[in-house]
């Protein structure tokens, strides 16, 4: 190529585009939190491709046009892919699809080429390895060369077989995705929790799959479609169509809508059809993947470092509409999170009329610069949930109003603030806010608190919705008539059982009641400290900030929260109601002299007690506990995997006993002192 001078502006633009794209890659692939739409991203990428095509001298191996966009996250083992996992070139229009077909036919020197048209599932790619039919590895795409070992998380996806129907050794690839309902549920939950919602189902699936906590992954219902066999020739497969059938035979979930197309026109028809029909599905698809059917043809066509030349993604257009923000209302969630919602001038969008769109939080509003009266573009994220893409400041008249965070809760008028300065969400801070009642009741009846099993989530919802319970104390005033009113499914026996449980709940230890009140920052542990120290709820209610803050384990922050809670007139009202209903507000003191005068130490893990519990147990029985063994220690209790204390005890000739021996020892001493051991253990269990 002859020397030519590349204009300075071009060099600068290329650099700027690369920087921008890298930033968006990071937001998208690493944080799973993109800040622009896919179409906007694709536009940047197209411009870069165009400039690099005009000035090939500018192409560098690390340009985003040359590489797969992902990254490997810390915390996971890295896996090198057996064969690189590539991306796909994409297009949004028929012209370019015809162009793709012409290129393919020209390279292959064929008059007509068969394609497989598949739905492009909006999830994350996954590679799955099996040895003799047994699942051994699941890996993400990462940067295409190396991915993350997410095997444990993959195992929680029910549609991915852990054993194949044939005992083959094989690597397959496909997509893990989040179904529509699950995506909605998860985002509702995140919004309530004050976390930013996932922008789209792909980010949600990726974010879930890269969770280090497997239990959390299992709780979210991910699903899969598999569409690719690595080294298909090993299984005698000659075409993509055969590969799909083979995958089905192995037991994988294969998308039922794929189509073998005789020519590109059939592909285009398929795309037109699914552009409309995609709403019928309970998962998201963002286009059609077009693949040359014959593998020998695929090999001739080959690939670039970023994408195969034998396939292309033919994306569906994102449906957008223009409308106006008429007003902003505020919803209060179950945890008190205030969510601003845009009330829109009704507009037709992808088959439905859109009237509202969540604005998520006030930072989102500020970032997107949205005002009341603004013209905005709305889009359906993943085709379902209306979202404001951007405002159009050019169309402002000057009469638009800025959206300010409220200083009072719209439901109860309570104070508004952040629980944690890091959090984006604003919350109503009033613990008695009616919007939070369902959540508060769940806390009250939970196992750690009053343990009223019969009052499950659904029943609580119904009680609140029916107006039968207006604050937490109302639980103790429920009549059989109230419960019967909640309709079918609640028979006499259930009602009697629930009322019986509520009756028993009145007698629970004080710390359980305190836990159940849901005082901000006061969990089980603090509740125990408070109960132990004050011995009655009314004494806690009357305690001053000065007194509270000096109690070991409490400190100024929690003390402040407690004082504020009891200062609330509604709290006083609730305490009165509890008292009238006969709820026990005093601590039954359990302090015995069974082990009085003895000093114990513990090493290793115990079966019946956590570390904290055994210390409490000793204290209740009047013994002294020490952290290290000395000559003054009477006994060392030896649990599983004992530490150095055990050696030391032997050296100092301190007596040791196993956990069983210890309990036996307590039994004997209890009986000697005239106590009933079983009774002690029962009240201990209830207390702890």
Q: Which residues make up each annotated binding site for NAD(+)?
A: 38-42, 87-88, 118, 141, 175, 291, 315
Q: Of the residues 80, 120, 507, 648, which is catalytic?
A: 120
What does 428 bind: Zn ion, ligand NAD, none (CB cut-off 5 to 8 Å by kind)? Zn ion
390 closest CA partner among 291, 493, 320: 320
What does 414 bind: ligand NAD, Zn ion, none (CB cut-off 5 to 8 Å by kind)? Zn ion
Residue 416: CB minimum distance to Zn ion, A: 8
Should residue 433 be labelled a site residue for Zn ion when binding is judged by CB under 5 A? yes
What does 412 bind: ligand NAD, Zn ion, none (CB cut-off 5 to 8 Å by kind)? Zn ion
Should residue 428 be labelled a site residue for Zn ion when binding is judged by CB under 5 A? yes
**Beta pairing, strands 259-261 & 385-391:** unpaired
Is the Cβ of residue 328 or residue 433 nearer to Zn ion in the bound state?
Answer: 433
Phi/psi at 325 (5° precision): -85, 115
Q: Which residues contact 215 (CB under 8 A, 6 or more apart)?
A: none
Should residue 419 be labelled a site residue for Zn ion when binding is judged by CB under 5 A? no
What does 617 bind: ligand NAD, Zn ion, none (CB cut-off 5 to 8 Å by kind)? none
Cα(555)–Cα(356) distance, integer angstroms: 44
Please identify which residue in the block is written with the tokens 């000739």: 653
What does 323 bind: Zn ion, ligand NAD, none (CB cut-off 5 to 8 Å by kind)? none
**The one among 164, 409, 513, 629 contacting Zn ion by CB under 5 A:** 409
Residue 432: CB minimum distance to Zn ion, A: 8
Is the Cβ of residue 26 or residue 55 nearer to ligand NAD in the bound state?
Answer: 26
Q: What is the DSSP letter of 476?
A: G
The end-to-end CA distance of the chain, in Å, is: 81
What does 426 bind: Zn ion, ligand NAD, none (CB cut-off 5 to 8 Å by kind)? none
513 closest CA partner among 570, 449, 566: 449
CB 433 within 8 A of CB 441: no
Residue 327: CB minimum distance to Zn ion, A: 20
Q: Which residues contact 159 (CB under 8 A, 6 or more apart)?
A: 223, 224, 252, 253
Residue 193: CB minimum distance to Zn ion, A: 17
Residue 38: CB minimum distance to ligand NAD, A: 3
Is the Cβ of residue 203 or residue 515 nearer to ligand NAD in the bound state?
Answer: 203
What does 411 bind: Zn ion, ligand NAD, none (CB cut-off 5 to 8 Å by kind)? Zn ion
Is the Cβ of residue 63 or residue 571 nearer to ligand NAD in the bound state?
Answer: 63
Binding site for ligand NAD (CB under 6 A): 24-25, 27-28, 34, 36-38, 41-42, 69, 87-88, 90, 118, 120-121, 125, 141, 175, 227, 289, 313
**Structure tokens of 285?**
């698809």
CB 408 within 8 A of CB 336: no
Should residue 333 be labelled a site residue for Zn ion when binding is judged by CB under 5 A? no
Should residue 414 be labelled a site residue for Zn ion when binding is judged by CB under 5 A? yes
Should residue 425 be labelled a site residue for Zn ion when binding is judged by CB under 5 A? no
What does 14 bind: ligand NAD, Zn ion, none (CB cut-off 5 to 8 Å by kind)? none
Should residue 170 be labelled a site residue for Zn ion when binding is judged by CB under 5 A? no
Q: What is the DSSP letter of 466?
A: T
Q: What is the DSSP letter of 33?
A: -
From the annotation, which residues make up the binding site? Answer: 38-42, 87-88, 118, 141, 175, 291, 315, 409, 412, 428, 433
Please identify which residue in the block is written with the tokens 């599932």: 121
Residue 406: CB minimum distance to Zn ion, A: 10
Query: Residues, the chain, total?
Result: 688
Torsional sign, CA 253, 257, 262, 263: negative
Is the Cβ of residue 44 or residue 499 nearer to ligand NAD in the bound state?
Answer: 44
Please identify which residue in the block is written with the tokens 């929690």: 558
CB 313 within 8 A of CB 96: no
Is the Cβ of residue 289 or residue 468 nearer to ligand NAD in the bound state?
Answer: 289
Cα(596)–Cα(622) distance, integer angstroms: 5
What does 227 bind: ligand NAD, Zn ion, none (CB cut-off 5 to 8 Å by kind)? ligand NAD
What stretches of 369-479 show up as alpha helix (H) in DSSP? 437-445, 457-465
- Burial of 309 per CB tally in 10 Å (0-12, 13-18, 19+): middle
Only one of the segments 47-55, 207-215, 424-432, 635-643 lies at the binding site for Zn ion (rule: CB under 5 A); that segment is 424-432
The answer to whether 591 is a known catalytic residue is no
Residue 227: CB minimum distance to ligand NAD, A: 4
Should residue 337 be labelled a site residue for Zn ion when binding is judged by CB under 5 A? no
DSSP secondary structure, 136-154, as one string? EEEEE-TTSSEEEB-HHHH
Give buried/exposed letters for 442-472 (b at 16+ CB in 10 A, else e): bbbbbeebbbbebbeeebbebbbeeebbebb
CB half-sphere exposure, 373, CA atoms < 13 A? 11
Is the Cβ of residue 38 or residue 379 nearer to ligand NAD in the bound state?
Answer: 38
Is the Cβ of residue 118 or residue 148 nearer to ligand NAD in the bound state?
Answer: 118
Q: How many CB atoms lie within 10 A of CB 86?
A: 18
Q: Give the E-state strand segments of 279-336 in sequence order.
A: 285-292, 311-315, 320-332
Should residue 440 be labelled a site residue for Zn ion when binding is judged by CB under 5 A? no
Residue 216: CB minimum distance to ligand NAD, A: 23
Is the Cβ of residue 229 or residue 435 nearer to ligand NAD in the bound state?
Answer: 229
From the annotation, which residues make up the binding site for Zn(2+)? Answer: 409, 412, 428, 433
What does 433 bind: ligand NAD, Zn ion, none (CB cut-off 5 to 8 Å by kind)? Zn ion
The alpha carbon of 458 is separated from its chain's Cα centroid by a whole number of angstroms, namely 22
Should residue 558 be labelled a site residue for Zn ion when binding is judged by CB under 5 A? no
**The one among 341, 412, 625, 681 contacting Zn ion by CB under 5 A:** 412
Residue 82: CB minimum distance to ligand NAD, A: 16
Strand partners for 117: 259, 290
CB 275 within 8 A of CB 97: no
Cα(106)–Cα(351) distance, integer angstroms: 40
Residue 415: CB minimum distance to Zn ion, A: 9
Please identify which residue in the block is written with the tokens 């999170």: 337
Is the Cβ of residue 264 or residue 409 nearer to Zn ion in the bound state?
Answer: 409
Please tell me the count of residues contacting Zn ion according to CB under 5 A. 7
Should residue 123 be labelled a site residue for Zn ion when binding is judged by CB under 5 A? no
Cα(402)–Cα(404) distance, integer angstroms: 6
Alpha-carbon separation of residue 392 from 44, 59, 388, 580 (angstroms):
20, 35, 11, 59
Should residue 411 be labelled a site residue for Zn ion when binding is judged by CB under 5 A? yes
Residues in contact with Zn ion by the rule CB under 5 A: 409, 411-412, 414, 428, 430, 433
Residues with active-site annotation: 120
């Amino acid at each position: 190529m002859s020397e030519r001078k590349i204009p300075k502006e071009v060099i600068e633009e290329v650099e700027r585009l690369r920087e921008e794209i890298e930033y968006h890659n990071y937001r998208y692939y690493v944080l799973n939190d993109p800040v622009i739409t896919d179409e906007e991203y694709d536009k940047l990428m197209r411009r870069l491709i165009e400039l690099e095509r005009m000035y090939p001298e500018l192409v560098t191996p690390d340009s985003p046009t040359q590489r797969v966009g992902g990254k490997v996250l810390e915390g996971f083992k890295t896996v090198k892919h057996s064969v690189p996992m590539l991306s796909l070139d994409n297009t949004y229009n028929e012209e370019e699809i015809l162009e793709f077909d012409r290129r393919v036919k020209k390279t292959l020197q064929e008059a007509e080429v068969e394609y497989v048209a598949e739905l492009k599932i909006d999830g994350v790619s996954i590679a799955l390895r099996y040895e003799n039919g047994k699942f051994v590895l699941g890996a993400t795409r990462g940067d295409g060369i190396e991915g993350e070992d997410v095997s444990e998380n993959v195992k929680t996806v029910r549609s991915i077989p852990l054993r194949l129907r044939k005992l083959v050794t094989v690597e397959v690839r496909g997509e893990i995705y989040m179904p529509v309902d699950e995506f909605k549920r998860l985002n509702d939950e995140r919004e309530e929790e004050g976390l930013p919602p996932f922008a789209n189902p792909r980010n949600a699936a990726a974010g879930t799959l890269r969770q280090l906590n497997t239990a959390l992954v299992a709780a979210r219902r991910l699903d899969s479609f598999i569409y690719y066999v690595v080294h298909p020739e090993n299984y005698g497969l000659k075409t993509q169509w055969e590969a799909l059938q083979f995958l089905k035979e192995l037991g994988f979930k294969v998308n039922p809508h794929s189509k073998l197309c005789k020519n590109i026109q059939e592909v285009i028809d398929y795309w037109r059809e699914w552009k409309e029909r995609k709403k019928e599905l309970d998962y998201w698809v963002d286009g059609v993947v077009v693949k040359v059917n014959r593998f020998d043809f695929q090999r001739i066509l080959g690939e670039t470092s970023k994408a195969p030349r034998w396939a292309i993604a033919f994306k569906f257009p994102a449906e957008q509409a223009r409308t106006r923000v008429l007003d902003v209302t505020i919803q209060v969630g179950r945890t008190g999170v205030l969510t601003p919602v845009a009330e829109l001038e009704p507009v037709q969008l992808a088959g439905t009329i859109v009237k509202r769109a969540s604005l998520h939080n006030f930072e989102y509003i500020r970032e997107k610069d949205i005002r009341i009266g603004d013209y905005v573009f709305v889009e359906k994220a993943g085709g379902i949930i209306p979202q404001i893409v951007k405002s159009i400041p050019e169309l402002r008249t000057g009469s638009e109003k800025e959206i300010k965070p409220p200083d009072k809760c719209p439901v109860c008028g309570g104070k508004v603030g952040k629980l944690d300065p890091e959090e984006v969400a604003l919350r109503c801070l009033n613990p008695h806010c009616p919007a939070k009642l369902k959540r508060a009741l769940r806390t009250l009846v939970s196992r750690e608190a009053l343990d009223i099993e019969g009052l499950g989530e659904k029943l609580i919802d119904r009680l609140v919705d029916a107006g039968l319970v207006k604050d937490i104390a109302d639980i103790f005033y429920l009549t059989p008539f109230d419960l019967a009113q909640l309709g079918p499914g609640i028979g006499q026996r259930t009602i009697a059982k629930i009322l019986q449980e509520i009756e028993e709940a009145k007698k629970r230890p004080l710390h359980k009641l305190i836990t159940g009140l849901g005082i901000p920052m006061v969990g089980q542990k603090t509740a125990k400290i408070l109960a132990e120290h004050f011995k009655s709820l009314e004494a806690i209610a009357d305690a001053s900030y000065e007194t509270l803050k000096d109690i070991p384990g409490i400190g100024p922050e929690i003390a402040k929260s407690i004082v504020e809670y009891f200062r609330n007139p509604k709290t006083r009202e609730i305490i009165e109601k509890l008292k009238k209903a006969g709820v026990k507000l005093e601590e039954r003191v359990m302090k015995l002299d069974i082990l009085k005068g003895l000093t114990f130490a513990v090493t290793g893990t115990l079966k019946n007690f956590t570390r904290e519990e055994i210390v409490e147990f000793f204290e209740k029985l009047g013994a002294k506990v020490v952290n290290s063994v000395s000559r003054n220690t009477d006994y060392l209790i030896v649990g599983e995997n004992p530490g150095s204390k055990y050696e030391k005890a032997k050296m100092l000739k301190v007596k040791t006993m196993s956990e069983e021996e210890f309990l036996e020892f307590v039994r004997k001493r209890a009986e000697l002192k005239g106590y009933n051991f079983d009774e002690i253990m029962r009240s201990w269990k209830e207390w702890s």
